[in-house]
Structure 1
């Protein structure tokens, strides 16, 4: 009997331990401009550089500053794109290499304030295509860019498997059932981005993450303050 009671006690403790909620680590989000400036002073790589100013030949199509996006509403007050300094340095090298072939980059999105990620998650019909605010997005760290390829002379986009922000299976980086031209363009973009430490997101051919993203804090500073 004593043995049975002991087993029951141990089992109860184990069950209670399993049912006990695991503490959620609080996210560290920089929302003070002074704090951001201090971080840049301590490490210049923390700077959120305006992409167009650093690389004038890059084209912008900031969809979230318009209604032409999956949210169907204006999310950004300004049509600007930022990224951490090493990311912009990588984009500069990529743009230079592409220009030799007559191509260039078009940027849809870069750094995204954390508050916008929260709004996306609330309203997105497919949560697989938006970041969970519980973890934050690499966009929030200034370490992700959404982009495509264009012909430099005409500004026309190269054919890709889907439009930007498509919530379809064909948007995946390795989706095979696409035209040979679209596949060639997509794979070329993925390869040249990877060459400069920008890796494609598995389910979005247009989304690229900087390999060292873990070194940067989540940010919630609006474009107007940058």
Structure 2
């Protein structure tokens, strides 16, 4: 008996250590998932990377269609800051861009342009649709959701439902004076910043009024940024190239 009892006790000790080890492993895995810098699995967005998947969705629902604004807005005036290194990242973020938008957004922008044209004015686009990968690049430079979209949620730009715009005179192409240059990440770019000349306040309000009249929502921290409401529920994130979208008829 003296040889058997210690073996039984050893087996019990080994079993206890095994169970304890399993519990510690489970706790470690769970805690590791809650690391402050980790993105929880259930918040990682679904991103459409396949043109065929996008095309099938657009065929089933025309509101999902991405259209070129050149067919809806005339003249289409653009200044693609992210196609140059003259932007806050100091790198070229995309090449050969075009102004793509979901069909409902394009129709609303068409109305905005018509209203401005009656005043001798026009929209000017700094950015429209941008691929999801660009949002990831931007967040790496400015991880501040007041000014850049968190990739965990994605951007309205990735959904074809957000636009960075200003107003220009049709006759001269001259931009109306606005509070700041594009992508100025200071309080002066906020809609509630009021320490500005009267004409600048009026121009900012004109843009906001006409965009909101036709269904867009302003971003409080950027005078130039407007989006369709509830875009996250209406449109999936896209990571398609401009050349891919040019295939759409």
Shorter-normalised TM-score: what interval? Answer: 0.7 to 0.9
Shift of the alpha carbon at 1:23? 5.4
Hey, what does 1:11 align to over in structure 2? none
* 2:234 aligned with 1:215: yes
* 2:67 aligned with 1:49: yes
1:170 to 170, 188, 207: 188
- Which structure: larger Rg? 2
1:66 to 84, 89, 111: 84
* 2:130 aligned with 1:112: yes
Question: Cα deviations across residues 124-180 of structure 1 (Å, max 9, x unaligned)?
Answer: 275531110011111111110000000011111000000110011100012111111
Hey, what does 2:212 align to over in structure 1? 194
Distance across 1 between alignment mates of 2:211 and 2:190: 16
Distance across 2 between alignment mates of 1:46 and 1:110: 15
Distance across 2 between alignment mates of 1:81 and 1:71: 21
- Checking the alignment, whether the CA contact within 8 Å between 1:58 and 1:95 is kept in structure 2 is no
In the superposition, the TM-score normalised over structure 2's length comes to 0.80
Shift of the alpha carbon at 1:53? 3.1
List gaps (5 residues or longer) in structure 1.
1-15
Hey, what does 1:100 align to over in structure 2? 118
- Checking the alignment, whether the CA contact within 8 Å between 2:215 and 2:228 is kept in structure 1 is yes
Map 1:77-96 onto structure 2 (within 5 A). Answer: 77-96=95-114
- Checking the alignment, whether the CA contact within 8 Å between 2:48 and 2:236 is kept in structure 1 is yes
In the superposition, the TM-score normalised over structure 1's length comes to 0.88
Shift of the alpha carbon at 1:86? 0.6
- Checking the alignment, whether the CA contact within 8 Å between 1:113 and 1:220 is kept in structure 2 is yes
- Checking the alignment, whether the CA contact within 8 Å between 1:126 and 1:167 is kept in structure 2 is no
Hey, what does 2:172 align to over in structure 1? 154
Per the alignment, in what secondary structure is the counterpart of residue 149 of structure 2?
Answer: coil
